[in-house]
Structure 1
């Protein structure tokens, strides 16, 4: 990508869901878009990203795959190779404003238009923090003083936050399916998954239920034993037969779930919104508080599939969970539309 061929819109994604939401954002637009994949190292995420990249190319987008974490020198090589395009792009689209990689890229660009597409429930926290002028911190990070790395990176993070704040010379749009607060000057555009519904389905609906996994154990929020017990109880109560693994769930935990629950563990090759829309899918989809309780009802609009969400009991939280965790997770469930709430679990 040289200066002469710099696209009008440059999109940076680090997850399959971010790339899906770039496709959703671009669905009704005619922008000249190049998607830059800042590839992670996790094999499952990489696999899903490659499949999503194929879909993006099929929709006429240019996709540039960067091994952005391929070794100590990879970030410098990636940023150096993108610097010219960053300076020339008229619009920057990002999926994760909390990403240090993305924050560093934002300090280089002089684009007049910035767009943040959903990366899940974190979007809710991003808008709130932006409105309050706070530093950008993921909701599941433990409270208290910032660490040494946070302090070193603070000037870059502060500069990125300023770039993400609307001004007389810069517009900021948030494209989201999540219920978000408003921030001064920020344009919020609803994502109703029109691209997904036009591209796939409607799905064949099977009997019974499917269960959606979460990475709350991996992020240190929920105790592993409590989580396994909750999955067992949900599966028994609702006749679930399949467990759709989150891409960040550990192999060890998934093996334990398979042994102790008898569920078929499915590692999706695409984001769950596309898997569900393509089908086959259970008549009931069971989930803990997560992005899918907001996105699946939109992706499955017009079908007979019911989405049910089970609240996180405070007793399931680990001693290391952020003080904000319980309130945030309750808010994810409480603001979800068109879902059935499961207030309690039967005893195992």
Structure 2
């Protein structure tokens, strides 16, 4: 699916609500909300409420504030829940529709427009659930919910599906969605709008690392989806012919970071900023290597004009643990297939 950017000069349609709020829990959600606001077609003023207690989110807010936030957007002090800032806006940017905080607010919410922004693989999973013929609980993949959480997830699905039928749900994404999924979403009343990070690309270029090869870190070891030993061996192998920069995933822990900090030829970058922000200064001499992830797609879109090569490497079968369901493995393989025809 071809990505198209929205003109920065576009404005919210006459008569549309002009104020939006956003509850963000991850750096990617924050970047996605900034791009949605910058597009100009959803709201003229946006208030972003970050979740408290998220260190990477604090770092990202600080970096983006220093760079200069888009006009009409303000970041509020962090809070543990979204409810108190939702009631007086006409548009709600939703980053994680599987979040219990979001669902509890959603089911008691008045009718408004909802704009769902990217939150990694969860965006595709959510769109598939909302596009089904019958309502299914909004539950995270690979998670077994309690009966109470399933009931909350079902109520949230019913609310969003009703809003979609009324033309009040948009998905704003950088991901290449399969055409059948876009068709199913349209049939459910969901509008899909794609972008290519025009606001982020408008910022002054970031610094370029001295290393020519960059490895994107993965949280799959911490999540128990792949074994640590082969993953660490793969990363260190990348440094066999020259130094590499390892950009850790925000959820990685000591199981991967401690060995890599001691590995010859591997420089582990500080955690905090998302790859889309920290690596936007890469150029044609750089090569990014990663296991399948949404960051692969977003970096391809972001760095295409610089000629940077971004390569997704399939996960070898012996790496997987028993916790990695076949459907998850198949879904991740789409991020490898999508690189065909790209630089």
Indicate the TM-score class for this superposition, using the shorter chain for normalisation: 0.7 to 0.9
Q: Deviations over 1:283-330 (max 9, x none)?
A: 101111011111011111311211111111121111222342211211
CA contact (8 A) 2:50 2:57 kept: no
**Alpha-carbon distance in structure 2 between the residues aligned to 1:13 and 1:337:** 32
Q: Specify the alignment match of 1:25 in structure 2.
A: 36
Deviation, 1:89, is 1.9
User: What do the CA deviations read for 1:185-224 (whole angstroms, capped 9, x no partner)?
Assistant: 1110012111111113276575621111011111111111
Does 1:35 pair with 2:48? yes
Matching residue within 263, 266, 285 for 1:260: 263
Match of 1:228 in 2: 232
Q: TM-score, normalized by length of structure 1?
A: 0.81
SS at match of 2:193: strand
In structure 2, distance between residues paired with 1:210 and 1:174: 30
Within a 5 Å distance, the mapping from 1:1-348 to structure 2 comes to 8-29=19-40, 31-39=44-52, 41-52=53-64, 57=69, 59-68=71-80, 75=81, 79=83, 82=84, 85-132=85-132, 133-139=135-141, 141=142, 146-147=144-145, 150-165=146-161, 166-180=163-177, 181-182=181-182, 183=185, 184-201=188-205, 204=208, 208-236=212-240, 239-279=242-282, 283-336=286-339, 339=342
26-35 or 216-225: which moved more?
Answer: 26-35
Q: Distance in 1 between matches of 2:36 and 2:250?
A: 23
SS at 1:325 equivalent: helix
CA contact (8 A) 1:210 1:281 kept: no
Q: Which runs of 5+ in 2 are unaligned?
A: 1-16
CA contact (8 A) 1:122 1:138 kept: yes
Alpha-carbon offset, residue 98 of structure 1: 1.4
* Aligned-residue RMSD, C-alpha: 2.6
Superposed CA deviations along residues 113-152 of structure 1, whole A, max 9, x for unmatched, are 100011122211111121123322333x15xxx34xx312
Distance 2:263 2:226 in 1: 18
Distance 2:65 2:284 in 1: 24
User: 5+ residue gaps in structure 1?
Assistant: 1-5, 69-74, 341-348
**Kept in 2: contact 1:24–1:195 (CA 8 A):** yes
* Distance (Å, rounded) in 2 between the aligned partners of 1:21 and 1:56: 16
Evaluate the alpha carbon distance shift between residue 14 and residue 207 of structure 1 in structure 2; reply closer, same or farther with a 3 A threshold.
closer
What is the distance in 1 between the residues matched to 2:246 and 2:164? Answer: 45
Residue aligned with 1:277, SS: coil
Deviation at 1:226, TM superposition (A): 1.9
2:166·2:189 contact (CA, 8 Å) conserved in 1? no
The TM-score normalised by the length of structure 2 is 0.82
